[in-house]
Amino acid sequence: MRLKILVTGAAGFIGSHTTDHLLHAGHFVIGVDNFRTGKRANLASALTNPKFIFCELDVTEESAFTEIVGQYRPDVIVHLAALVSVPESIANPALNDLLNFRTTRTVAEAARLHLVPRIVFASSAAVYGDPTHTPIPENGPTLPLSPYGSAKLASENLLLEYASRHGLVVRCQRYFNVYGPRQDPSSSYSGVISIFLDRLGRNLPATIFGDGEQTRDFISVYDVARANALAATAPGLASGVANICTEKEVSLNQLWQLLRQGFSEAPVPLHVPERPGDIRRSCGSTALAHDSFGFRSRISLEHGLRDLARQCSIE
């Protein structure tokens, strides 16, 4: 069935890939973005598709956003607009509160008012804080270490409360570390893979925070876009949370070794003190996403990095 899906943060990294995936599957997409960090270039393909409508709009403008929802009455809202960086949330907690919590309320209220039956929300592995063991199951303890993780957890709770009181379906997608094309490396708040590749491409030393033995579960943005599309469109889904990850735990030092293989000369990385709010270990269980909506990651880190390095060298 073809659905009408409103995507917030549509010009962003995960948003634009999700938009492309949904359009490719034949759905109608209403993309909303204010270009705070998103880029028009990310929508180059979507903008040529007659099933895509773009609204330049800030989700923090509550009445304008609610009006758009009322105008299009989508079947699903995929809420991806966010402040994505853990250190930025520590540097600017008020902005984190606005973008990672208050916009969630705006989306929930607009959905309630205009009877939108489903919301898919960009949550995060940051809700767990430091896990006691890996792979982390969704019912593991949630003890965030940053304003970012706290706001994502509070948003999940708010949305699940709306789901139970107003009968809509809410799917909270707990993304682990997402990488892939269109991830902007230009800020110190950017994702580590985009930063490392950018440094390697310019023959500059990368910086590793701490001893490099912290671990992450890196997932390709193509897998994440597919997981979002499944959560948005699978019929008969109940509300709930799900890890979106690969179940593979990789240290920063291992990541660096994998990445540098593609470069003949790579300057030795600089080690600087650990970053505040940094999680020590992160790797999620994939069982629930599989049982709930048939999702399992398909792209290995080795394959995803090779593909990404190739694309970077072509650009």
Give me the amino acid identity at 249.
E
CB of 254 to ligand UD2, least distance (A): 12
Q: Of 85 and 233, which has the nearer Cβ to ligand UD2?
A: 85
Q: Which residues in 46-74 are b (16+ Cβ under 10 Å) and which e?
A: beeeeebbbbebbbeebeebbebbeebeb
CB of 128 to ligand UD2, least distance (A): 8
> In whole angstroms, what is the distance from residue 163 CA to residue 99 CA?
21
φ, ψ at 113 (rounded to 5°): -60, -40
CB of 116 to ligand UD2, least distance (A): 25
Q: Spell out the alpha helix ranges (H) of the chain.
A: 13-24, 62-72, 86-91, 93-97, 103-113, 147-166, 192-201, 221-233, 252-260, 287-293, 301-314
> In whole angstroms, what is the distance from residue 184 CA to residue 195 CA?
8
- Count Cβ atoms below 10 Å from residue 236 Cβ, excluding itself: 6
**Residues forming the active site:** 148
- Count Cβ atoms below 10 Å from residue 45 Cβ, excluding itself: 13
Residues at the site binding ligand UD2, with contacts judged by CB under 6 A: 84-86, 124-126, 175-177, 190-192, 195, 207-209, 214, 216, 252, 275, 278, 282
CB of 99 to ligand UD2, least distance (A): 12
> In whole angstroms, what is the distance from residue 107 CA to residue 115 CA?
12
